A and B are shown apart, each in its own frame.
Chain A
Amino acid sequence: MSLRPERQAPPEFFYNETEARKYTTSSRIIDIQAKLTERALELLALPDDGVPRLLLDIGCGSGLSGETLSEHGHQWIGLDISQSMLDIALERETEGDLLLSDIGQGLGLRPGTMDGAISISAVQWLCNADKSCNHPRTRLKQFFGSLYKCLARGARAVLQIYPENAPQLEMISAAALRCGFSGGLVVDYPHSTRAKKYFLCLMCGPPSTSTSLPKAKGLDRGSESEGSSDADEEAGTVDILERKRPSKKQKDKKGKGRSWVLKKKEQRRHRGYTNVPQDTKYTGRKRKSQF
């Protein structure tokens, strides 16, 4: 197994001229990125009115993902940290505007301006602390916080990511939720190591019934009963993301109860303290919260 790109060098060095060149010459890469973008657009679920939208392409690289956006008629702004990748995008004369920027420093965009955002194979890069000044958690927070702000009300962000492992996936989605997003993880072809793809689908604000979560690919296996023999078709999975914060109740349970307080007071009296309050019916009683 070769080392993951994210572990080899920071993105602005890994995506050098040679690596960037691959993104114009390898038809396999071009094909994969186009398919991922088509899928991300589908999950973005823009209103079906034929009107172009203004979208963000986060980690746009050489513009392969952006080209798919243009094919659908959309205007887009692409951000990338690698000058070499952007140079290729310029060579390809992609239609979106390009910005050389590090998404881990936050997106400098005015609030409420973007109709949606996609990101193809880029965000997992934020999990690598490749410089001493890079703290993954801080950078994820900067990124998701500023992304949340710049999206218009009700807009979505669909981020296709290659997480290194489960904790990394958890770190990315938790960071998104902490910044106010709701949403879920759509996993296409979850049982195939090669085809498996993670799409983090984020919505601004709390989930509502009108913004239901999209379906994963391959889920409609109901057709099986009708005699479909497409055994290769694999079911996708959808997970609703939930903030994993211990609830108030759980905390209280673990809190120190009346018996603990009584024991401690007894101990202190035993040691000769004279300022220990009397035991009454109020001792160790739960206090009402202030709100």
Chain B
Amino acid sequence: MTPLLELVDVRKKFGAVEALRGVSFALAPGEVLALLGDNGAGKSTLMKTITGIHRASAGRILFAGADLASHDPGQIRALGVEMIYQDLALARQQDVASNIFLGREPTRRFLGLPLHVIDRARIEREAEAMIRRLGARVPSVRYRVGDLSGGQQQSVAIARALTFAPKLVIMDEPTAALAVREVEHVLELVRELKRQGIAVILISHRLTDVFAVCDRAIVLRQGRTVADERVAETSMNTIVAHIVGAG
């Protein structure tokens, strides 16, 4: 099976800091991959390089056959790559509906003129449907995101990632700030995405979560891949040893 995503010797420098020193791996369609590593290992940097926020200093990133080097973040989203960022990347003074459709607002002609206005009614309708399908506890899509709780904001970020039929969903520590019940909800979501054949890359420090939902785990240390194992064939102790560098 041809991989959905393929990274070949990806490197990233920030000035003198080498955040990524040659990362290679491939991801199959529908596969659920855990990306592990200590703080500062380069996990977020690697994912932001895939989504086009950062440009790789060297190496190649292929998604569904397309070389992402020449793509900007909007084009990469259009190919079907969505990311739920560690800081959620929400506009707090905009409402829920606007945040879900951020960067992809449907427009309509204004009074039949060649003027394109944002189709507010459609955005609210579809945002509400998405929130309902996710079973998220957001009181109204007209609420400002800044007025919502952390868990609700998380739901908005998730809804944004899932509204446009993604092929790959990247989650950067989505459960770090959540209550136990909400964590279970996110894990169930990952399982559901897998059932629908959507690939997931999950960054998490909670190994129990990783072992509960992931097929495979990759460990980064100081910008390098130090382990790439099938979850069913390894143990938490082995993974921990790789993360702290005792392996």
Do A and B make up one complex? no
